[in-house]
């Protein structure tokens, strides 16, 4: 790796990269965390215990797929802004074929979850919490499919760390405090208090105390049933993969499914046995673009992933290095490219397995990106930039021009007006909005962890699982917390004709693992948590590596900007045009120039993600791991 060019560093980067430095350190070490160096494997995820689960699995002889699945199971058990009823989306590099595989393990809207149903309930969108926000669980199926198709170990070996944790692990302060803060909502549901509130009625603090051994016996029994189903199938002479799929069937079609459905329906939810039995994990070809010869892979339009590809296509038309790193002009270029890409996301992205067909060929064309780049006003932010029309770039005509022409009207209609008493009313709708910017930003960054794994055999895995975060409805006596991802649907086709809720349909999600190949070999594997900010931060991480010559740890810690101009994917799907998050140490002259350009600045000490990533050093035959300094993210390498 090269060194970072000091002549291009702004005060922002100096603060982030050098503040924690000690005299005598080498340049590459001047970050708050060191680079992880490994020869055999690397495992990174959102929690230290989760990373340990990955390391233990590698030590058992597992490959990167096994280790990634073990980390996924552990972080779901730890409620690291996800649980076992959530959703999993992954990119997997198969060294035997040289292909990047997309794994779609996102749940679907259950029976009866129609636009008309929610509208009759007086809701503009499916709710943020509760049984009516649930989609079918995807993480268990995604995990078992990964291990069966590309892993090496048994399901019992992969689940062992999570099962031990379900029997009791020392809960972290952040999770324990989130539970305490949400306990009144948790008490609204039948089975959730038994899981979350061990001191219910006995103490003022009813949630676990930080460091208390947190036991989830129902979840442990559910995981034990999966291992039991695998063992029975092996005893019958089934193959390793067939035995894992026997456990899959027990979860989605057997006694576990029956108890989940019973519990969900008791809470007033819509999920049925048929919803679980007919759901399936999908293996698919990822979306891809090139940036200066580097192949960048994302999952398709059921995620927001292609916005990163669109933004790279736009930025490829610009001379970014001449602008100066984190200058006002560079910040403006990033913000405008993201606005253009996210406006397309907000209107065109949806489940590719349901009609109408999304115009992805046009959206990802270089010609479309060049013309979109020509729309940038280099003097001021454009708060009204909307989606473009990609259909002519794929030889077609847009079937939704009437919605496209009315986009700004819809945007104004959906924008909330906050009253003096702190209540918010959206014009024309009974539903309310966020009463303050803090609540809006909490929703904007909602959910997700990230998992990164690679091994010397060549397997690479990038995952951004999520769903079922605290507070979740627990499905009966399974210990399974239900996903809240249904809230990412819309009910009015004028908002997005491709993402209207229907039974069996997947909502367009923010979850977005990333992978890049260079010269036909893995170059980067990277992911981040943070809702609608994910592909904003991943875009800047990628540019930090490719344009600004940072090493992987510098790139994950470097200060980013975040736009709030796109429509949020949660709650009331609001936007804040012109709102711009920058790092606290942004120089005053940069701040002044951005304000002159129409930006409303907000500040944070850390704006880097949190991003986790692996860089592949082919010259030396080693891995370089980057684990964010933003939160609890942690990596182990060997």
Q: Are 219 and 479 in contact, with CB atoms under 8 Å apart?
A: yes
Indicate whether 428 pLDDT > 80. no
pLDDT at 414 over 60: no
Q: Report the pLDDT value the prediction gives residue 391, as an integer from 0 to 100.
A: 98
**Average pLDDT of the segment spanning 18-36:** 55
The pLDDT of residue 511 is: 93
- The C-alpha atoms of residue 559 and residue 555 are separated, in whole angstroms, by 9
Query: What's the whole-number mean pLDDT along residues 33-51?
Result: 96
Q: Report the pLDDT value the prediction gives residue 632, as an integer from 0 to 100.
A: 87
pLDDT score, position 531: 86
- pLDDT score recorded for residue 140: 98
Query: Could you read off the pLDDT of 161-197 as tens digits, one per residue?
Result: 999 999 999 999 999 999 999 999 999 999 999 999 9
**What does the pLDDT average to over 409-415?**
52
Calculate what percentage of the chain has a pLDDT beyond 90: 84
Residue percentage of the chain with pLDDT more than 70: 89
Q: What is the pLDDT of residue 593?
A: 98
> Stretch 7-30: mean pLDDT, rounded?
35
Higher pLDDT among residues 22 and 133, named by residue: 133
Q: For position 449, what pLDDT does the model report?
A: 87
Residue with tokens 């951005």, as numbered in its chain = 594
Quick one: pLDDT at residue 418? 30
Report which of 293, 382, 311, 359 is spatially closest to residue 540, judged by C-alpha positions.
Answer: 311
Q: In which band, very low, low, confident or very high, does the pLDDT at 571 lie, cut at 50, 70 and 90?
A: confident
pLDDT beyond 60 at 586 = yes
pLDDT at 439: 59
Q: Give the Cα separation of 148 and 154 in Å (integer).
A: 8
| pLDDT > 60? residue 332 | yes
pLDDT higher than 90, residue 419 = no
Query: Tell me, what's the pLDDT at 149?
Result: 98
Query: 579-583 and 600-604 as β-strands: parallel, antiparallel, unpaired?
Result: parallel
Query: What's the rounded mean pLDDT across residues 616-629?
Result: 95
Nearest CA to 610 out of 539, 527, 514 is that of 527
Q: Which H or E run includes 550?
A: none
Residue 23 has pLDDT above 80, yes or no: no
- Binned at pLDDT 50, 70 and 90, residue 608 comes out as confident
H helix intervals, 459-533:
none
Residue 112 gets which letter from DSSP? Answer: T
Q: What are the pLDDT digits (tens) for 258-283?
A: 999 999 999 999 999 999 999 999 99
Banded model confidence at residue 30, pLDDT cuts 50, 70, 90: confident
Q: Which residue has better confidence, 432 or 454?
A: 454
Each residue's pLDDT tens digit, 210-267: 999 999 999 999 999 999 999 999 999 999 999 999 999 999 999 999 999 999 999 9
Which contiguous run of DSSP H or E holds residue 617? strand 611-617
Query: Can you tell me the mean pLDDT for 136-141?
Result: 98
Averaged over 195-210, what is the pLDDT?
A: 97
Which pLDDT does position 420 carry in this prediction?
27
Q: Average model confidence (pLDDT) for the chain?
A: 90
pLDDT at 507 over 80: yes
pLDDT value of position 529: 86
Higher pLDDT residue, 128 or 429?
128
Say how many Å lie between the first and final Cα of the chain, rounded. Answer: 20
3-class SS of residue 359: coil
pLDDT of residue 444: 54
Lowest mean pLDDT among 205-219, 400-414, 445-459, 568-582: 400-414
Please state, in angstroms and rounded to a whole number, the distance separating the CA atoms of residues 379 and 391: 29
Alpha helix (H) residue ranges in 240-365: 240-253, 255-266, 273-278, 306-315, 320-323, 328-348, 360-363
Average pLDDT value for residue range 396-401: 97
Say what the pLDDT of residue 609 is: 81
- The count of other CB atoms within 10 Å of the CB of residue 247 is 28
- Mean pLDDT of the region 399-418: 69
pLDDT band at 631 (very low <50, low <70, confident <90, very high): confident
Burial class for 239, CB neighbours closer than 10 Å (0-12, 13-18, 19+): exposed
Is the pLDDT score of 22 beyond 90?
no
Of residues 13 and 516, more confidence is placed in 516
Beta-bridge mates of residue 41: 455
pLDDT in tens, 106-118: 999 999 999 999 9
Residue predicted with more confidence, 1 or 306: 306
Q: Quote the CA–CA distance of 356 and 362 in Å, as a whole number.
A: 15
* 3-class DSSP assignment, residue 540: helix
Mean pLDDT of 305-310: 98
Q: What is the pLDDT of residue 376?
A: 97
Residue 524 pLDDT level (bands cut at 50, 70, 90): very high
């Amino acid at each position: 790796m090269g060194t970072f060019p000091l002549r291009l560093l702004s005060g922002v980067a100096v603060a982030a990269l050098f503040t924690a430095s000690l005299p005598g350190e080498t340049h590459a070490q001047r970050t708050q965390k060191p680079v992880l160096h490994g020869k055999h494997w690397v495992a990174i995820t959102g929690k230290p215990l989760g990373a340990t689960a990955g390391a233990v699995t590698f030590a058992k002889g597992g490959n990167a797929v096994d280790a990634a699945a073990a980390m996924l199971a552990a972080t779901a058990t730890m409620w690291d802004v996800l649980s076992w009823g959530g959703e999993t989306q992954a990119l997997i590099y198969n060294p035997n074929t040289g292909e990047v595989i997309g794994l779609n393990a996102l749940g679907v809207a259950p029976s009866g979850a129609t636009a008309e149903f929610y509208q009759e309930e007086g809701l503009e969108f499916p709710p943020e919490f509760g049984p009516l926000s649930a989609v079918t669980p995807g993480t268990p199926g995604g995990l078992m499919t990964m291990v069966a198709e590309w892993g090496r170990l048994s399901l019992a070996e992969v689940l062992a760390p999570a099962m031990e944790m379900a029997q009791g692990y020392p809960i972290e302060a952040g999770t324990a405090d989130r539970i305490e803060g949400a306990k009144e909502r948790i008490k609204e549901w039948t089975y959730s208090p038994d899981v979350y509130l061990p001191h219910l009625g006995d103490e003022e603090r009813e949630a676990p105390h930080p460091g208390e051994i947190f036991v989830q016996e129902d979840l442990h029994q559910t995981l034990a049933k999966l291992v039991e189903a695998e063992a029975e199938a092996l005893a019958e002479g089934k193959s390793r993969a067939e035995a894992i799929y026997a456990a899959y069937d027990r979860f989605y079609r057997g006694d576990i499914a029956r108890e989940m459905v019973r519990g969900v329906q008791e809470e007033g939810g819509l999920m049925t046995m048929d919803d679980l039995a007919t759901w399936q994990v999908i293996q698919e070809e990822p979306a891809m673009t090139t940036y200066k010869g580097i192949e960048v892979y994302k999952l398709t339009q059921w995620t927001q992933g292609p916005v990163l590809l669109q933004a790279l296509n736009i930025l490829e038309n610009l001379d970014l290095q001449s602008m100066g790193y984190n200058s006002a002009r560079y910040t403006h270029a990033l913000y405008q490219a993201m606005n253009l890409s996210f406006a397309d996301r907000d209107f065109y992205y949806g489940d590719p397995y349901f009609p109408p067909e999304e115009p992805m060929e046009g959206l990802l064309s270089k010609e479309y990106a060049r013309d979109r780049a020509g729309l940038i006003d280099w003097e001021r932010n454009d708060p009204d930039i909307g989606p473009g029309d990609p259909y002519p770039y794929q030889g077609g005509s847009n079937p939704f021009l009437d919605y496209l022409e009315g986009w700004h009207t819809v945007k104004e209609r959906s924008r909330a007006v906050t009253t003096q008493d702190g209540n918010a009313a959206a014009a024309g709708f009974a539903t309310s909005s966020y009463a303050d910017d803090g609540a809006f930003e909490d929703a904007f960054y909602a959910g997700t962890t990230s998992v990164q794994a690679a091994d010397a055999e060549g397997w690479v895995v990038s995952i951004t699982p999520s769903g079922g975060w605290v507070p979740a409805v627990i499905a009966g006596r399974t210990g399974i917390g239900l996903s809240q991802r249904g809230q990412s649907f819309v009910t009015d086709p004028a908002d997005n004709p491709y993402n209207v809720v229907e039974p069996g349909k997947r909502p367009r999600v923010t979850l977005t693992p990333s992978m890049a190949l260079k010269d036909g070999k893995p170059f980067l594997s990277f992911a981040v948590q943070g809702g609608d900010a994910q592909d904003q931060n991943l875009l800047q991480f990628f540019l930090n590596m490719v344009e600004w010559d940072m090493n992987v740890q510098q790139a994950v810690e470097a200060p980013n900007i975040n736009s709030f101009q796109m429509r949020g994917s949660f709650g009331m799907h609001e936007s804040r045009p012109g709102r711009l998050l920058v790092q606290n140490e942004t120089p005053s002259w940069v701040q002044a120039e951005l304000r002159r350009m129409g930006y409303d600045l907000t500040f944070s000490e850390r704006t880097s993600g949190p991003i986790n990533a692996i860089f592949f050093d082919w010259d030396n035959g080693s891995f370089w791991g980057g684990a964010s300094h933003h939160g609890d993210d942690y990596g182990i390498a060997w």
